[in-house]
A = this chain, B = another copy of it.
C-alpha cells in the first residue's frame, strides 16, 4: 500500500515512516525540507500550497497527516501561522484526498477537550480547545470529518497523548530537563510539578498510525494515549536520578494545559491498539540517545 507521511522531518513523522516500512508500506515523505531515509521518496512541499499537496497525495492510497505547527509556544505566539498550516494545510489534504480517493489518518491531540467536565476524558467529552495549538488541531480534525461526509473521503483521527521518545524537539520539557541536568545546571519545574501527563511513546504512536492506515474505520476519533500518568516532578526525579543536579520551582507557563485523565478504551476496542512501552524504559532509551549524540 502506498502511503504519504506529512511532517516527515519532524519528531513523530520519521517514527511513523519506520513503522510503515517495517509493515510493508511503500512510503513517500512530505515536508518543507528534504528527508533522507533509505527506501523513502522525499517530496519537498508546503502544506499551505494546494498544488504541492495535490501532487504528493495524487500518488498514494493513504495519508498519515502529521505535519503541523506542533510547538505549542510557537502556535501561541504566531496564531495565524498555526491557523494556516494546521487548518488550511489540512483542508488542502482533504481536497487532495478527495481527488485521489485516498484515506487520511490525522494526528490530532488529547488537548482538544479543554477543561474536563468529567474524567477520564473519552471521545464523547465535549471539545473546548483553549489555545491556538489545540484550536487549530481540532479544526483540522473537523475539516477532515466534514470532507468524509461531504466528499466521501475516508478519514480518521488519532488524538495523541503527549509524545516522547528518541528525536524529541530540543524545547520539549524532556530535552530541557535532560540537557540542563547533564550540564550540571538546575532543573526548573514550572508550576508545582504535580501536573501529570499520560506521556505516550512515539513507537506506540507509530504503531497506531500503521494499524489505522489499514483499518476501515471512518469519521472516528480515538484517544491514542498511554495509561500511565507521570507528573512533571516524577519526570524530573527520574532525570536527576541519572544525571544528579538541583531541582528548583518557577511560575507556571501561560497556555500550559492542566492535567486530566484520558481513556484509550475506544482505541483498544475499535483498533486493537494499546500503548506497550513502559515509561521508565522509554525515558531511559531517550536519555541513552541524548548521551550517545554527544
A residues bordering B, Cβ < 8 Å? 50, 76, 79-80, 82-84, 87-88, 90-92, 94-95, 126-132, 135-136, 138-139, 142-143, 145-147, 149-150, 254-255
Contact = CB atoms under 8 A, between A and B. Distances in A.
Contacts of A91: 79-80, 82-83, 132
A270 B179 CA distance: 51
Contacts of A50: 80
Contacts of A79: 91, 94-95, 143, 146-147
B94 A139 contact: no
Given A80-B95, A83-B88, A126 B126 contact: yes
A212 to B, nearest CB: 22
Q: How many copies does the complex hold?
A: 2
A83 B143 contact: yes
Given A80-B88, A87-B88, A127 B130 contact: no
Contacts of A143: 79, 83, 132, 135-136
7 contacts: A76-B146, A79-B94, A80-B92, A80-B95, A82-B91, A83-B83, A130-B146
Nearest to A131: B146
